[in-house]
Amino acid sequence: MCILQHDWIMADLKNLTLSSGAAASRYSGDEQVQFIPSGSHQVTIRSPPPSLHLENLNNVVHGGSQNNLHCSCNGTTSNGAAATVCTGGVLVRKVPNHSGASPGQGNKRPAVSLTHLPKRPPVDVEFKNLAYSVSEGRKRGYKTILKCVNGKFRSGELTAIMGPSGAGKSTLMNVLAGYKTSHLSGSVLINGKDRNLRRFRKMSCYIMQDDRLLPHLTVYEAMTVSANLKLGKDISATAKKVVIEEIIETLGLREASNTQTQSLSGGQRKRLSIALELVNNPPVMFFDEPTSGLDSSACFQCLSLLKSLSRGGRTIICTIHQPSARLFEMFDHLYLLAEGQCIYQGNVGGLVPFLSSMGLDCPSYHNPADYVMEVACGEHGECVHKLVMAVNNGKCNNYQHYQAGIAAAQAVSNDIAKESPQEQTKPEGTALIPNGVAKAGTTMINMPVSCTTSLLDSAESIEQKVGFPTSGLLQFWILLKRTFLSQIRDMTLTRVRLISHIIVGFLIGAIYYDIGNEASEVMSNAGCVFFTVMFLMFTAMMPTILTFPTEMSVFVREHLNYWYSVKSFYLARTLADLPFQMVYSIAYVVIVYFITSQPLEVERFLMYLNICVLTSLVAQSIGLLIGAAMSVESGVFIGPVMSVPIILFSGFFVNFNAVPKYLKFLSYVSYVRYGFEGAMISVYGYNRAKLKCSEYYCHFKSPTKFLEQMAMENAVYWIDVVALLGFLLVLRVVVYFVLKLKLRSLR
């Protein structure tokens, strides 16, 4: 097995002549080379077609399975992606098919460019003396996560923030994105000027690790909502549709455009998360562990997309834990952290020479990313402080002319790159590099994709107006339609709940059949009324506790990326729930009320129905409060436990007269008390006629006497209604401020 170096290949090829036409010419480096294995040692060199550019070829070589060129001297290769033929002493590199299509496939798709996106300026992000601390409690004080780090991330570059767990890489990105603002010192500069946080958040986006998406929207519907919210009303619906179609096509989501997000693969979900934020063409994009949870193929497709986006002039910043050698070479800029300090920043190709100059030699055939993580973790001695001092003294700047990996269309092995780094020259006005973007599944799109940005030169466009792209009313309307559509498609929130209300309604009706007008069964009827109130309470509260945290995670992502305001989201969420909750309550009450033979009077039925609906809405408000304030695990425990005293002081288990004076105030803060009391008054109050008695003696033949027994003779129905309305309004307002506080706590 022999390892072929680029210089050896070029030296042999220079002696070859072109066989195109009568006149022979020498190989210039742009032609395709084909070895004819017929024993004659012939080599054919053909000029490439005009459409095959060097940048396209560069992408192809990057797309190989490895960067090392291994070859056995009997003519067979061990690397199929960038193979070299060694027969009869002639060393010729075999250029792989750049399209990924089978031979003879002529129907190639045209190039797609993101040319319809809004124009944005290039943005460089610089930070100086950045320090960040977190509180560990009153006794332990503060722990410093970042320790006076400096750096600059430029537009047009794919930047990786690397480091071991606890090094501060996610914290640094959160600080740069504006998500962390408390206990922070230092300065963040945008194009050399102090950052205005609200303006910066509007022109940047943060794509989180866990792909927070609404599960019941299709890809196209999610893109439409994003376009309507982020592009504003100044852009026509036709123009928005063009942008949506363009992004879906470019990111390889065409086949999944009508698929709900809950059915997408991991790679498709990641690309959809990127597509949603790409609608308004943010010049700065932050990615938290973009390859997390993806296989090697999906990881490469994802980073290829990020590389393409950066070549369009965007500033792409992402944290990555431990990439493979193939992925590591795709980054343009590397920022390494250890113990909250920078141990290297600069060109990826300059990392190994820099470490070598510090006495840390990366072994041959060893992934530099793995080695530098070992160094940062102290496996090669306590050298973090030495590296930090070298970075602060500017020593890593001496290695920025090194370039490892692949230059132009020339494949160089990792080992050779470590020994003989090639000097990288980056001329001014370098053309954008087209990138092939992966499609859904394992199929590759057979087209070069140029994610151009239509960059502006003027810095004035950065000083855009502060605020959301759309008005609050339009945000509310878009979110209301989206929430309504999501709930209709959610089996748990719609059909299952409706069916459960109907089934339980018939069950309760069968148990308490025809007792509503029976004097001897008034206590059983009171139990039926109480169960109705309690059932509606729990069926309204518990599903909200379970589902609202999922909506909260999506809300946090979209709000922090400046899609819409808290007020618009909360109003839409509140109003979208009302018709569903009312339908469930009405379905249950109608079944139970008439089967149990409650008074057949329109006024009493409407009073009974009204009090039940209000009770369910108050319970739903409590579910929203618990879901907004805590996690699902905590909520499913806190919700039922908190309901125990509320039920206990409702007046069914203990009469109000029997409650001790020092605990009597608790009955006034129990909303179930007002619901149960109002329902009892609507059934037995307002001078109802005497009940029929099928026994020899019925003590509560008079409904008024039964109300006296329940300590409700002085209760007023409308006071109960006003009390429930007060609970409803107060709780909804409290939930709104809890949402605001939760957003503030994230910073």
Residue 728 backbone zone (phi > 0: left; psi -120 to 50: alpha; other: beta): alpha
Instruction: Please report which residue ranges of 454-521 form alpha helices under DSSP H.
Output: 472-489, 495-511
d(CA 614, CA 618): 6
677 confidence band (pLDDT: 50, 70, 90): very high
Segment among 13-17, 169-173, 535-539 with least mean pLDDT:
13-17
* Average pLDDT taken over every residue of the chain: 77
Once rounded to an integer, what is the mean pLDDT over residues 290-301? 83
Once rounded to an integer, what is the mean pLDDT over residues 243-253? 88
Whether 351 has a pLDDT exceeding 50, the answer reads: yes
Higher pLDDT, 381 or 742: 742
* Strand-pair category, 284-288 with 204-207: parallel
60 confidence band (pLDDT: 50, 70, 90): very low
pLDDT at 225: 93
Segment among 88-92, 146-150, 693-697 with least mean pLDDT:
88-92
d(CA 143, CA 148): 14
Once rounded to an integer, what is the mean pLDDT over residues 545-574? 88
pLDDT tens track for 439-495:
333 333 333 344 444 433 333 344 455 578 888 899 999 999 999 999 898 877 788
Whether 26 has a pLDDT exceeding 60, the answer reads: no
Once rounded to an integer, what is the mean pLDDT over residues 294-312? 85
Percent of the chain with pLDDT over 90: 26
pLDDT at 403: 54
pLDDT at 286: 92
What's the Cα-to-Cα distance from 653 to each of 26, 32, 340, 629, rounded to whole Å? 100, 89, 59, 31
Instruction: Please report which residue ranges of 454-494 form alpha helices under DSSP H.
Output: 472-489
pLDDT at 114: 66
Give 97's DSSP letter: P
Whether 67 has a pLDDT exceeding 80, the answer reads: no
pLDDT tens track for 611-644:
999 999 999 999 999 998 888 888 889 999 999 9
Residue pair 615/671 in contact by the 8 Å Cβ criterion? yes
700 confidence band (pLDDT: 50, 70, 90): confident
pLDDT at 208: 85
Torsion (CA) 204, 278, 345, 298 in degrees, nearest 10: 140
pLDDT at 747: 64
pLDDT at 491: 79
d(CA 130, CA 446): 44
Name 697's Cβ contacts closer than 8 Å, sequence gap at least 6: none
Please name the residue that has the structure tokens 């809300």: 555
pLDDT at 658: 80
Segment among 128-142, 326-340, 724-738 with least mean pLDDT:
128-142
Task: Identify the top-confidence range among 111-125, 185-199, 457-471.
Answer: 185-199
Half-sphere exposure of 725 (CA within 13 A, CB side): 7
